[in-house]
Structure formats: structure tokens, C-alpha cells
Amino acid sequence: MKRVLSYSEAIREATEQEMSRDPSVIVMGMGVDDPKAILGTTKGLAGRFGHERVFDTPLSEDGMTGLAIGAAMSGLRPIHVHIRMDFVLLALNQLINMASKLCYMYAGKISVPVVIRCIIGKSWGQGPQHSQSFYPLFMNIPGLKIAAPSTPYDAKGCLISAIRDNNPVIFVEHRLLYYQKGYCPRGPFTMDFGKARILSRGRDITLVGISHMAVECLRAKRYLQEKGIEAEVIDPVTLSPLDMERIEKSVIKTRKLIVVDNAWIPCGAGAEIISRIMENNSGGDFIFKRMGFAFTPCPTTPALEGSFYPNAKMIAAQAYKMLYPKAGQWKPKANLKIEEVEFNGPF
């Protein structure tokens, strides 16, 4: 039997294994050693490694990010955890003006091995200030790497790679993925950044889903099967660098692409992926669509929240429209069986 772990357990395991391998790895952030332990992802770490290596911080995101950068310059490998990505906005100055630039600005004499773990949330009235995912903003910055894995396997492998990387890595985790279960090897392993994962093969249309939207795309694929449509579902896993080769190959095969961002659409991952395909394939007759959050702040009321986020049914309906533009609108009926997806390989 293959070993099954939840996404949050995979994050915890990766952290624990790296901490025991390398004494320079430390974990800091608000609540990392409290009873809730960042939704369990830092559970037991303070007990095992001590409070010098796992410590709570004051509510000082800007200052603490500078501190993590300084600690990294001195030879430590800090993992700075933010329970919501919205709070990382307070740290942008240190991340963008300092962390992303020090290596370049000092001709490679300095490295900043920090991991910024950012959890993104959704639904249940999180509202405008507790629901944002800013990875597109970071994709615009040279000198930062970004991972946003959607499976437990990739979460573990990517986090270990991020910790060992000598550069700042923004590590994006969607709360709804935490309960997602899947195969995850016991021992430590790394993953190359810049390698997308084909979550499911298909010939008719390519669906690229970022972070939790990869799960929505897998669900959409199942809805589309009712109509005999086989979608290929790809999770880019890392957004900087981006594995264009794999995505491009799929699009050349299917000629149709939907990129579903877990963020607002303008200047997002969808824009980036589609432009790169266009630049490399002038004259190619592809059809593209970007999906993402409605271009408004996230409303709290459940009455509007439903139309704010793209979901599997909307993605399936969009895909159908691209395949059969003349057939008239089709909207799949909600099906709980379809909505339960777990990705179990191949890896």
C-alpha cells in the first residue's frame, strides 16, 4: 500500500526532517509554537527542537522579515510562516527591496536562503482582507522563487527544495488543500523547481490550475467526462520559474487552454502563461481563456462569495463552450461524488 498523507502533514514532515538534518533551519512566525500550531503544520516542532529554533514573533511582519533576512545572511535558514498571505503585504519592502536583490546587488557575495510560507484562505466569510493570494505580484519580481503546490507529494518535495535553496522562496499554501490526501514517501526528497505536473492526461483541452484551482480543474475534468470530453489538467507547481515547456506541449496537442488563477486575472499567471505561448508560437491557432477571481475585493456575504470564485462547474462550462461554440450553453449539475477528488499519482 502506498503511504498516504494529508497536505498539512506533508508540510510538517518536510519541516521536521529538514530541521533534524540541518541545525541551521529555524522556524519563526506568529503562532508557530502555539496550541494551534499553524493548523498543525508546526505541531511538536518547538517541543522537539526547542524555542531557539522555533519561536513566536511579535506582530511585526516588516521587521521580522528583515530579521529573517539578516539571520539568513549570517548562515541560518529561516522559515518565516504567515497564517494569511494578506499579512505578507506588510513585509513587501524587505522582501522586494532587500531579499530579492541582495544576491544580485552584491554580485553574488550574499545569499538569502529564506522560505516565506504564506497560507491563503477562502470562503466562509473570510472577506476582503483575509482571502487574497498575491503570487502574481511576486511573479513580477526577479530574484524570488515561488512555489504553490497542490498535492501532498509536491508540498513535501517543494518545501524541502525551498529550504535547501540558497534564495528567497515564496511558498504558497491554500488552506483548502490542507485536508487533501495523497501519496507521500516517508523519507526526504527534493523536487526541481520549474517542473509542472500533469495531474491528468487528456486530448481535448488543457486546464492549468494554480494552487487550489488545480483541484477545481480535476473536478471540472470529471464533469466534462459526462460530455465525453477529456481534459488534460496541469499544475505548474512552481510559478517562478515556470515550466512552459510542458504546458506548451499540452496546448500544441489540444489547441485549447484555460488557465484558472487562484487570484485576480489582470497581470496574473494566466496572462503570463498565455503570452509566453503566443510569443513562442506566432501564427498558432489556439483558443485561450483566463479565469480567476471576479475583479472586486472579496465580499464576505455567502450570497456574493459564490460568484467571486471560479469553481469546477464554471470551468467545465467554459471548457464546453470553447469546444462546442455553437452548441449553446451547458452547465453541469452539482455532483458531490465528482467534487471529492484526491490525486494519487502518477508521480
Partner 1 sequence: MFRDVFVRYRHKEKLKNKNYKLLERFYASLYLIRRTEEEIIRVYPTDKIKSPVHLSIGQEAVSAGVCAALNGRDVVFGTYRGHAMYLARGGSLKMMIAELYGKAAGCAGGRGGSMHLIDIGNMVMGTSAIVGTTIPISAGYAYGLKYRGSDSAVVSFFGDGAVDEGAFHEAMNFAALKKLPMLFVCENNLYAIHSHHLSRHHSDNICERAAVYGMPAQRIGDDIFSIYNTAKRLLKGVRSGRGPAFIECITCRWKEHVGPGDDFYLGYREKKEVRQAMKRDQLLEVRRLLGASAAGKIEKKIDGEIREAFEFAERSPFPAQEELYANVFKE
Active site residues: 61, 130
54 vs 277, beta carbon nearer ligand TPP: 54
Q: Binding to partner 1 by residue 192, rule CB under 8 A?
A: no
The three-state secondary structure class of 173 is strand
186 near partner 1, rule: CB under 8 A = no
Distance of CA 314 to the CA centre of its chain: 21
Task: Rule CB under 8 A: say whether 35 interacts with partner 1.
Answer: yes
Residues in contact with ligand TPP by CB under 6 A are 30, 59, 61, 87, 90
Helix (H, G, I), strand (E, B) or coil at 14: helix
Tell me the torsion sign for CA atoms 195, 198, 204, 209.
negative
Q: How many residues of this chain bind partner 1 (CB under 8 A)? A: 35
Q: Compare residues 39 and 90 and give the one whose CB is closer to ligand TPP.
A: 90
Check residue 126 for interaction with partner 1 (CB under 8 A).
yes
Q: Does 248 bind partner 1 (CB under 8 A)?
A: no
52 binds partner 1 (CB under 8 A): no
Given candidates 40, 73, 87, 198, which one binds partner 1 under the rule CB under 8 A?
Answer: 87
Partner in contact with 9, chosen from partner 1, ligand TPP, none, beta carbon below 5 to 8 Å by kind = none
Closest distance of CB 306 from partner 1, Å: 9
Query: CB 92 → partner 1: shortest distance, Å?
Result: 13
Beta strand pairing call for 54-55 and 25-28: parallel
Q: Does 56 bind partner 1 (CB under 8 A)?
A: yes
- Residue 143 per-residue DSSP state: T
Provide the 3-class DSSP secondary structure of residue 116: strand
d(CA 99, CA 72): 10
In this structure, the dihedral spanned by the alpha carbons of residues 31, 238, 68 and 107, taken in order and rounded to 10 degrees, is: 180
Question: Least separation, in Å, of the C-beta of 129 and ligand TPP?
Answer: 8
> What does 301 bind: ligand TPP, partner 1, none (CB cut-off 5 to 8 Å by kind)?
partner 1
DSSP one-letter string for 24-79: TEEEESTTTTSTTTTTTTTTTHHHHH-TTTEE---S-HHHHHHHHHHHHHTT-EEE
Stretch binding partner 1 (CB under 8 A), from 53-61, 187-195, 213-221, 255-263: 53-61
Q: Which stretch binds partner 1 (CB under 8 A): 58-66, 171-179, 270-278, 319-327?
A: 58-66
Between 14 and 68, CB nearer to partner 1: 68
- Which listed option, ligand TPP, partner 1, none, makes contact with residue 35 (CB within 5 to 8 Å by class)? partner 1
Contact 217, 207 (CB under 8 A): yes
Helix and strand counts by DSSP (H, E) for the chain: 13, 14
176 and 212 Cβ atoms separated by less than 8 Å: yes
Q: Least distance from C-beta 116 to ligand TPP, angstroms? A: 14
* Cβ 34 to ligand TPP shortest distance, Å: 10
Q: Please, which residue, 278 or 334, has the CB nearer to partner 1?
A: 334
Count of beta carbons in the 10 Å neighbourhood of residue 36: 10
47 near partner 1, rule: CB under 8 A: no
Of 56, 13, 16, 7, nearest to 172 by C-alpha is 7
Cis peptide before 266 (omega within 30 of 0): no
- Note the residue count of the chain: 347
Which residue stretch of 186-194, 217-225, 280-288, 293-301 sits at the interface with partner 1 (rule: CB under 8 A)?
A: 293-301
Q: Which residues bind partner 1 (CB under 8 A)?
A: 30-31, 34-36, 56-63, 86-87, 90, 124-130, 294-297, 299-304, 307-308
